[in-house]
Amino acid sequence: MKLRKKSTALLMAAFASMMLMSGCGQAKIGYIDGERVTKEAPQIASLVEEGNQKLQEAQTQAEADLKQKLQENPNMSQEEAQKLQMDTQRKLQGLNQSYALQLRQKVDAALAKVTKDKKLDAVVNNSQEQPIAISGATDVTDDVIKELQ
């Protein structure tokens, strides 16, 4: 008997919350041009530049290390050489992923602040190649760029 009352109460609460939510109005949707944010936001541009520079340095260093190891051990087997190359690739991929994560976190933080300030329900990435913004959506690209100054 108690289970039936609890189930009924839970069902009524769920129904009431659905009714309240459906009467709240239309969703407010914003969009950003991710390419513009990447190009124009100073924090993002400097992070991309720093990441590219670090990747280039790491690649140059890895090539020098590989060359040195090959000189130290000219009889190195093909398996050992491939293992060295794979280790180098893993290190470079890790560095690349680290910078990509930092970039994503900065954009997400700025986007979250703009979304909250503008009281938007959702924000989508709208690129020129694949436009997805619908009529009535708010362009928040400039606001996100301003947050990333």
Burial class (CB in 10 A: 0-12, 13-18, 19+), 108: exposed
- % the chain with pLDDT above 70: 79
Q: pLDDT tens-digit profile of 56-94? A: 998 898 888 888 888 888 887 888 878 888 888 898 899
Q: What backbone torsions phi and psi does residue 136 show, to the nearest 5 degrees?
A: 95, -5
Q: pLDDT tens-digit profile of 28-48? A: 888 888 888 888 899 888 988
Report the distance separating Cα 21 and Cα 10, nearest Å: 16
pLDDT (0 to 100) of residue 105: 92
pLDDT (0 to 100) of residue 149: 86
Residue 41 CA, distance from chain mean position: 15
Supply the mean pLDDT for the chain. Answer: 80
Judge: domain 2-147, CATH 3.30.910.20.
Answer: yes
pLDDT (mean) for 106-131: 85
